[in-house]
Amino acid sequence: MKSIYNFITVLCICILAGCSNDFLEQQSPDQLNSSTFWRNKADAEAGLSSTYAYLEGSVEEYAFAEVKWPVEAYREDICKLGSDALNYQNWVELADFTYTNGNSQLTSYWKLNYRGISNANQVITKVGEIPASAISEADKNQIIAEARFLRAYYHLKLILNWEKVKLRTKYITNQNEISSPLAERAETWDFIVSEFKAVAEVLPAAQPADKAGRATSGAANSYLGFAYLTRAYEETANKQTYLTESVKALDKVQGYELVKDYVSLFNGTNKNSKESIFELQFSENTSNGAFYRTALHFWMAASELGGWDEILPTDMLMNEFKKEGKIATTGNYDSRLYGNIFFKDPYFNDASNPRIFGETYDAKFGTANKPVFRKYLPPTQNQMDTEFLGLNVPLMRYSNVLLMKAEALNELQRSVEAIPFINLVRARADMPGMIGITYNAVKAQIEHERIIEFPLENFRFYDLRRWGKTKIALDAVGRTGFDATKNNFYPVPLTEIQNN
């Protein structure tokens, strides 16, 4: 991850779909290259570092937010563009579904994931060739397993956003191997599933503190369960088998628990918590010129809070949060509403305990009634005004495992078994247990919980597509430009087509 590794530039990366470049006819004898670099464990760890560095496009402090969230979140029915975002045509196109394969943001998303794959393939090959005298077998196996996990993860990100992608399963050293056809979707899923399953047997259950954020068996099994769950809806002939495999994988995710303080998971005060299964690492540490920070908080925050006003919650999301009424044990709405959103409510207008950077909602927003996102914002105004922060980004949380397991069990007609997992998530939010025990009641509850548990974590569109509800949901919020046949997946970037 970015905060625990030094990024190395010795790995050669080509712009085309993340292919390694060993095609120079001559190499400087006094400089490292991909043939001479891989000498020992330190080199192997450095190479792995460069592979983690491409997680979620986190290699750029600004582009990190400006690629990931426009590509993943703007098409969701729970988010809308803020006032400043309307100034960026390539973002607007993603939100109103007028984008083409020349859109710069989806092109960057594609390239960044393939660059991660390229680095992973080089690590897998080159670390495997380091002699036993320079690295122990245990270290070699774990580093290769982490690289394989990342290779599967990057492919997963691609197959979730494109109907067909290029499978890059080996380190390419011959330019003739660069051009290849798009793989069939089932073939890509087969590869992703096999990789997560294999590395889950090798990766440790937990990483030491100095390797926080690195892949574990829990992360591998969580994404394996997610892959099987997604695939179950796509390949209905094998639905029961994939659902069963999803439950088996998710059952192996042990040693985690829900954290009561939901806000702390995202504001930098509880990094790598007991709930976090896989988390993108950043740091405030700047020693020796280190820079592992981003402007994510500015991108997420409304202008009234000192942010850029790029993304806002929709009325639909607010209504979903409030639809059960103030039935929480706190006397308020579902506690996740207050953890995700600042809005006009007595809770945020309590002058004796001002909760928005030391001020009330009215003091910040005046007469406006403008709900704004709270997630990924720091606890204080002083931090909010700092140009770059080292806030971590949880990518897979235990609450997701619980709700995925509940969904798979319900689809297997084991609805009563699913309910306790739903209620665990609700209890953390101070909500009573769900009502009903039928398949339809459990399904509706899962859909509700996933909407309000994961705003800005960008699972919503994948959920809607899995359930066959993308068009219905987007039409319901007035975004009638969505056409499922065209917009359920992004088009292969124009640059990729031109280069092949």
C-alpha 361, offset from chain centre: 30
| Amino acid in the structure at residue 143 | I
Residues ≥6 apart with Cβ < 8 Å to 172:
19, 20, 118, 121, 178
What is the tens place of the pLDDT at every residue in 290-324?
788 999 999 999 999 999 999 999 999 999 999 99
Buried b (16+ CB within 10 A) or exposed e, 296-326: bbbbbbbebbebbbbbbbbebbbebbeebee
In the predicted model, what is the mean pLDDT of residues 480-489?
A: 98
In this predicted structure, what is the pLDDT of residue 240? Answer: 98
pLDDT band with cut points at 50, 70 and 90 for residue 33:
low
What is the tens place of the pLDDT at every residue in 343-353?
999 999 999 99
In this predicted structure, what is the pLDDT of residue 500? Answer: 74
pLDDT band with cut points at 50, 70 and 90 for residue 10:
very low
Among all chains, which residue has been given the structure tokens 């960026």?
88
Every domain of the chain with CATH number 1.25.40.390 lies at 2-202
Q: How many CA atoms lie within 13 A of 289 on its CB side?
A: 2
From the number of C-beta atoms within 10 Å of its C-beta (0-12, 13-18, 19+), residue 238 rates as middle
Q: Is the pLDDT of residue 21 over 70?
A: no
In the predicted model, what is the mean pLDDT of residues 428-434?
A: 98
Compute how many other C-beta atoms are within 10 angstroms of the C-beta atom of residue 212: 18
What is the tens place of the pLDDT at every residue in 438-482?
999 999 999 999 999 999 999 999 999 999 999 999 999 999 999
- Picking from 188, 129, 175, the residue whose alpha carbon sits closest to that of residue 12 is 175
What is the tens place of the pLDDT at every residue in 85-121?
999 999 999 999 999 999 999 999 999 999 999 999 9
In the predicted model, what is the mean pLDDT of residues 268-274?
A: 98
pLDDT band with cut points at 50, 70 and 90 for residue 4:
very low
Return the CATH class of domain 2-202.
mainly alpha
16 and 168 Cβ atoms separated by less than 8 Å: no
In this predicted structure, what is the pLDDT of residue 34? Answer: 66
What is the tens place of the pLDDT at every residue in 158-172?
999 999 999 999 999
C-alpha 76, offset from chain centre: 14
156 and 227 Cβ atoms separated by less than 8 Å: yes
DSSP 195-223: HHHHHHTTS-SS--GGGTT---HHHHHHH
What is the tens place of the pLDDT at every residue in 360-418?
999 999 999 999 999 999 999 999 999 999 999 999 999 999 999 999 999 999 999 99
Distance CA 489, CA 457 (A): 18
Phi, psi of 155 (to 5 degrees): -65, -40
pLDDT band with cut points at 50, 70 and 90 for residue 220:
very high
Beta strands in 25-174 (DSSP E): 79-81
308 and 247 Cβ atoms separated by less than 8 Å: no
Task: State the average pLDDT for the chain.
Answer: 93
Distance CA 159, CA 198 (A): 19
Q: In terms of DSSP bridges, do strands 276-280 and 311-313 run parallel, antiparallel, or are they unpaired?
A: unpaired
Buried b (16+ CB within 10 A) or exposed e, 138-165: ebbbbbbbbbbbbbbbbbbbbbbbbebb
In this predicted structure, what is the pLDDT of residue 173? Answer: 87
- pTM of the predicted model over 0.85: yes
In this predicted structure, what is the pLDDT of residue 25? Answer: 39
What is the tens place of the pLDDT at every residue in 165-216?
999 999 998 888 888 899 999 999 999 999 999 999 999 999 999 999 999 9
Distance CA 409, CA 247 (A): 7
What is the tens place of the pLDDT at every residue in 37-83?
999 999 999 999 999 999 998 877 778 999 999 999 999 999 999 99
